């Protein structure tokens, strides 16, 4: 029996065809596990079903087939045990940064006193670097600051599982980099279990313990689970100098450019057969160069962000 904290078993999501006909199978046979305290990113082309999977993990959507088990219990609806951060932080516009965070904290621990709630919320506001701006309303904050409030709010309720749907997608590169590093630090402090969608290969390498790679839809599946074998703590500047960095990066980019399409919709393609139970193939691109830091790193890919907006 698996000792994973989160178990995703043979998940499929189908939608009825708009005018009769064959239903649309967005993904099927999606199976993976996440250990407690693990940071897992998922990458795949636009439309393969990443947000749908995240919504199912959150309990905001239901699968057509399969199940999600968290901490031994089947996920059957939304719960404060799972915190979600979306690209649009959805803050309450009439409440300050502190009150937005406190609002969630009160919902999580209704028995707490007002002082306890505010002190707890303030701790997380400080953790995301917003001390001094805690009384500002969302309209008085920059996009990056608003996203930090969203992160503070999600971490403050100390969910058992934190789900993030492209949380930095709307931010400029500089702000994005700063907040990514803050997230690395906060995650290091809190050891949350995290599942995050990103289109940014470098972001995934900086943040994740493992990256799940999805084939193109329809009938998408998680084909590979790629280990990011780079020691922590990681910083953006140091991570790119690690000997394993380009091996990992090239593997991820190569999957997205070529194999995500080749493996799409078919488990019969040679090399694409998932291991029994639909679990993804375990890959460690760093293993080949482990113990050989002198090996020259290939730099064959320039900065690439996904999606490339293509169907299968």
Where on the chain is the footprint of ligand ATP (CB under 6 A)? 15, 24, 26, 44, 46-52, 217, 307
CB 28 within 8 A of CB 219: yes
Nearest to 184 by CA among 160, 170, 199, 168: 168
Nearer to ligand ATP, 159 or 217 (CB): 217
DSSP state of 220: B
Minimum distance from residue 122 beta carbon to ligand ATP (Å): 34
Nearer to ligand ATP, 24 or 269 (CB): 24
Minimum distance from residue 97 beta carbon to ligand ATP (Å): 27
Sign of CA dihedral 58, 59, 61, 66: positive
95 by Cβ neighbours in 10 Å (0-12 / 13-18 / 19+) ranks as middle
Minimum distance from residue 169 beta carbon to ligand ATP (Å): 9
Nearest to 151 by CA among 194, 108, 212: 194
Give CA–CA dist 222/30, Å, rounded. 6
210-214 and 39-43 strand pairing: parallel
Minimum distance from residue 15 beta carbon to ligand ATP (Å): 4
Nearer to ligand ATP, 52 or 225 (CB): 52
Give CA–CA dist 30/65, Å, rounded. 10
Minimum distance from residue 257 beta carbon to ligand ATP (Å): 16
Nearer to ligand ATP, 47 or 159 (CB): 47
Nearer to ligand ATP, 218 or 285 (CB): 218
């Amino acid at each position: 029996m698996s000792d994973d904290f989160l178990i995703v078993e043979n998940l499929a999501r189908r939608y009825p065809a708009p005018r009769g006909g064959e239903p649309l199978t967005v993904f099927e046979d999606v199976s993976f596990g996440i250990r407690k305290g693990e940071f897992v990113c998922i990458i795949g082309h636009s439309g393969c079903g990443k947000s749908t999977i995240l919504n199912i993990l959150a309990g905001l959507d239901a699968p057509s087939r399969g199940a999600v088990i968290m901490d031994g219990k089947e996920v059957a609806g939304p719960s404060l045990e799972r915190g979600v951060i979306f690209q649009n932080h959805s803050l309450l516009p009439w409440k300050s940064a502190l009150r937005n965070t406190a609002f969630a904290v009160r919902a999580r621990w209704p028995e707490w006193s007002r002082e306890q709630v505010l002190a707890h919320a303030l701790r997380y506001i400080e953790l995301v670097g917003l001390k001094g701006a805690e009384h500002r309303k969302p309209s008085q904050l920059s996009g990056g600051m608003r996203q930090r409030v969203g992160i503070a709010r999600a971490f403050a309720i100390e969910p058992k599982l934190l789900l993030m749907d492209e949380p930095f997608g709307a931010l400029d590169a500089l702000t994005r980099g700063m907040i990514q590093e803050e997230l690395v630090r906060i995650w290091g402090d809190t050891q949350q279990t995290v599942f995050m969608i990103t289109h940014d290969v470098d972001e995934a390498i900086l943040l994740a313990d493992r990256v799940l790679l999805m084939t193109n839809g329809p009938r998408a599946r998680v084909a590979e689970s790629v280990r990011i074998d780079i020691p922590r703590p990681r910083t953006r500047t140091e991570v790119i100098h690690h000997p394993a960095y380009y091996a990992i990066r090239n593997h991820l980019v190569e999957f997205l450019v070529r194999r995500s399409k080749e493996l799409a919709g078919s488990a019969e393609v040679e090399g694409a057969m998932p291991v029994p139970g639909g679990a993804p193939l375990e890959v460690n691109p760093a293993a080949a160069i482990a113990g050989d830091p002198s090996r020259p790193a290939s730099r064959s890919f320039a900065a690439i962000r996904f999606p490339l907006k293509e169907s299968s």
